[in-house]
Amino acid sequence: MNSTFKIMFVCTGNTCRSPMAEGGLRVLLENKKIGGVDIFSSGTSAASGFPATIYAIEAAKIWDADISKHRSRPLTPELVEQADLIFAMTPSHCYEVIRLAPDARDRTFLLRNFPNGDCGGEGIADPIGGSLDIYNQTFLEIGEELGRILPDIIKRITENKD
């Protein structure tokens, strides 16, 4: 089994939703003293090397998550292959992951649907261009989903180590 369990979040530009989700999950797992996990993110239309937006950085502070060092990167088949678990922010992100790597279907989920593997359904709206209040709301929506799915994520991490 892998010594490190790898979780990837996917959004569009990799400067808002997926970095906030990455930071939020990192805090949740640290609080539960769960190690051996590599959490990263990418974007279906991302350029390389851009920081998270100022409002995304501020919103993540709601949970004391520091995403200030985040740098964007494009979604690639190589990143998909590395990930044990992939969470997409919208159906289009989910379908794009599977288009790039069809064998990733069983480990790719729309965040709101997990653990159901269907890509259809309601996504997390993109806050880009919105106010800090919009970003805070987006972070709280992501956080609510992360809290809901945390037991299942921990179970998968633990099973990977056995």
Domains and CATH numbers, the chain: 5-161 (3.40.50.2300)
Q: How many CB atoms lie within 10 A of CB 39?
A: 18
For the chain, the average pLDDT equals 96
Closest listed residue to residue 79, CA positions, set 26, 7, 153, 144? 7
- CA dist 160 and 162 (Å) reads 6
- CA dist 121 and 111 (Å) reads 10
Q: How far is CA 48 from the centre of its chain?
A: 17
pTM, rounded to two decimals: 0.96
- CA dist 132 and 113 (Å) reads 26
What are 114-141's pLDDT values in tens digits?
A: 998 789 999 999 999 999 999 999 999 9
Q: What integer is the mean pLDDT of 30-59?
A: 97
What are 56-81's pLDDT values in tens digits?
A: 999 999 999 999 999 999 999 999 99
Q: What is the pLDDT of residue 1?
A: 45
Residues known to be catalytic = 11, 17, 126
Q: What is the pLDDT of residue 2?
A: 52
- Say if CB 124 and CB 90 are below 8 A apart: yes
